[in-house]
Amino acid sequence: MPAPAELPDMRRLSGPGLARVAFSDRGKVTDVKVVQSTGNRPFDADAVDTLRQWRIKAGAAREVELPLTTVMSGKRRPVRMQTSGGTMTSG
């Protein structure tokens, strides 16, 4: 995942959020919506921008809900998420 344009003020994150991402049958993102905000608009906006860049294997069109959370660490590792449609990896 690309780094956020600006580091969010971690004190202003009120909790985890949730995004809904729609994929076409070609694996491209067709829509991203924040279902539950983290409480930090810049963080939510960066998450939406990042999710718009995601791709999945071609197949049936689908929607998945993904948690919006942050992990502060000096290391950058791929993120693997379990979703209703399988496993997604980014990074």
**Which pLDDT does position 61 carry in this prediction?**
95
CATH of the domain at 48: 3.30.2420.10
Residue 74 resides in a domain? no
Domain count, the chain: 1
Instruction: List, for residues 10-62, the tens digit of each pLDDT value.
Output: 555 567 899 999 999 999 999 999 999 988 888 899 999 999 999 999 999 99
Separation of alpha carbons 60 and 47, rounded Å:
24
**Which pLDDT does position 43 carry in this prediction?**
86
pLDDT band at 1 (very low <50, low <70, confident <90, very high): very low
Separation of alpha carbons 37 and 17, rounded Å:
5
